[in-house]
A and B are shown apart, each in its own frame.
Chain A
Amino acid sequence: MSGFATGSGRALQGRGGSPGFRFTLYALVAVAIMVLDQRFDWLERAHSAMQAATYPVQVAVSSPVAGWHWVQKSFANRDSLEGENQRLRTRLRDLELRSMRYDALARENAALIGLRNSLPPVAERWLPADIVNIQLDSLRQRVLLDRGSVNGVTPGQAVLDDGGVVGQTIHVGPWSAEVILITDPEHALPVQIERTGLRTIAVGAGDATSLALPYLPANADIRVGDVLVTSGLGGVFPAGYPVARIAEVHKDAVQPLAHVRAAPFAHLDTDTEVMLIWFRHDSPAAPLKERHGELLTGDRHIQPLPVPVKPAQKQTQAPPAAAKPSVAASKRAATPKPKQAARSHT
């Protein structure tokens, strides 16, 4: 290798000490940064600032691909556009037909559960966001959106597309937000099986096309084709949003847990646009985040029942310490039991 030929003869201890000393110094700084970032939230502002600083680079790197898409789109021929138009129109008509009776049904449902007016929809506001075409981490399922805190985005906000749940925001910068997809191995989503109401947790499997349901017992009532919806627990997603369809159920007689895989409804690998949703927190279907304080605001006059005292059990458990392993002692310890129990009952 000729590239290494220059400047090899000089000693290294020029300035700043030996390499070992300098490495120790930098390693200590790095560890300090990690501890600060992990244990305290002092660096949350630094995260936000760094996202602001990195966003232009990310946009610049993604711009050739984005430009290519733009060129492709602007040269799209009339036929394909008309085809798309036709498809969208059909879809719109379909959705209109489906929602035609929705208002009436919502009112009817409200009357059935004893409310005078039907409830407002749980989603209050939504904002479309483009996915910046950028590689954040090859093995984790993360994407970058082009909306940030200037658009009112907060960490832990729900992200949906036209199919279903996509994920939630984790780090939010001024103009960009990082989204963890439901298929990320670190993401766990509380779900409910629509057919049976069984609640469980869907964990990402690490690729864009499957979710794992690792906590279902082998005798759980679950079949291929069952639909998973959000259960409303966990504080991010309201109840009832479609998540995935069960694609594979594997029950083994000797395994205590079933091996279940589900295919997400959201087009996680092909999406270019998603929706950020703001939810109304006073709706009963809203995520349960704001309502965990009910015990404190409850009726003060209702006292919990006192714990029943069990004196008999206490006394019977005391002797074994004194009783040495002899047959007579164990007999004696065993015999007083009925007597004491009878006394405590009277």
Chain B
Amino acid sequence: MSASSPRIAMLKTVVGALILTLLPLPSWLEIIRPGFLALTVLYWSIAAPRAGGIALGFFCGLLLDAFEGPVLGEHALALALLAYLGVREHQRIRSKPIFQQSLIVFAALAVYEFVLFAIDGWTGHALTTPLRWLPTATGALIWPAAAAVLARSYRAST
């Protein structure tokens, strides 16, 4: 197992998540679209904390900032925090059954969304609609499927 192999899988999944994020969807689906990039970053920080880690979160966040968000660096900070939480607790999260993992992911995504919410407010672009918290719930619901898909790409790379 070389050190670079999970990196390539990482890159592929990040590109895939970005495409899923940008894909135009009907408006009812758009509202519940989970943060695919956040899920991807969280998975890699738990599964391969040494390969990606916080740097992966930061640069994925910058990538997301290039496409959306009112101020540069917003998603970079939030995703770096998400990756940090994943890296810090990766051993504890791994040992949990999938249902409990979903709950932990829900909490982590809520922290992520709260950071975005706070930065939106501080920079004067407040978005107070409760709809913005929906992707947190759908992200947690989709976690078992997302983790399975990402685990397959991880195993294929090793």
**Interface class of chain A by DSSP:** helix
What is the total number of residues of chain A having a CB less than 8 Å from a CB of chain B?
50
Chain B, range 48-64, C-beta contacts under 8 Å to A: 48-50, 53-55, 57-58, 61
Tell me whether B24 and A135 are in contact (CB under 8 A): yes
Tell me whether A1 and B77 are in contact (CB under 8 A): no
CB nearest to A10 among chain B residues: B50
0/1 per residue, A9-39, Cβ < 8 Å to B? 0101010000110110011011111101110
Tell me whether B80 and A38 are in contact (CB under 8 A): no
Tell me whether B58 and A135 are in contact (CB under 8 A): no
0/1 per residue, B61-103, Cβ < 8 Å to A? 1000011110111101100110110011011001000100100
CB nearest to A23 among chain B residues: B84
Q: Please give the distance in Å from A313's CB to the nearest CB on chain B.
A: 42
Tell me whether B72 and A33 are in contact (CB under 8 A): yes
User: Which one, B68, B71, B77, B91, contacts A27 given CB within 8 A?
Assistant: B77
0/1 per residue, A43-62, Cβ < 8 Å to B? 10011001101100110011
User: Which one, A3, A23, A43, contacts B154 given CB within 8 A?
Assistant: A3
A43, B73: Cα distance in complex, Å: 11
Tell me whether B66 and A31 are in contact (CB under 8 A): no
Whether, in the assembled complex, B111 has its beta carbon less than 8 Å from a beta carbon of chain A, the answer is no
Whether, in the assembled complex, B132 has its beta carbon less than 8 Å from a beta carbon of chain A, the answer is yes
0/1 per residue, B4-34, Cβ < 8 Å to A? 0000000000000011011111010011010
**Interface class of chain B by DSSP:** helix
Tell me whether B80 and A30 are in contact (CB under 8 A): yes
Taking Cβ atoms with an 8 Å cutoff, the residues of A that contact B are 1-4, 6-8, 10, 12, 14, 19-20, 22-23, 26-27, 29-34, 36-38, 43, 46-47, 50-51, 53-54, 57-58, 61-62, 65, 133-140, 185-186, 206, 208, 269
Taking Cβ atoms with an 8 Å cutoff, the residues of B that contact A are 1, 18-19, 21-25, 27, 30-31, 33, 43, 46-50, 53-55, 57-58, 61, 66-69, 71-74, 76-77, 80-81, 83-84, 87-88, 90-91, 94, 98, 101, 119, 123, 125, 127, 129, 131-132, 135, 147-148, 150-152, 154-155, 158
| Known contacts A1-B151, A22-B53, A53-B66, then 20 further A-B pairs from the complex at CB < 8 Å, ordered by chain A residue | A3-B148, A7-B48, A19-B53, A20-B84, A22-B55, A23-B81, A26-B80, A32-B73, A33-B72, A34-B71, A34-B77, A34-B123, A38-B71, A43-B72, A54-B66, A62-B24, A138-B135, A140-B127, A185-B129, A186-B125
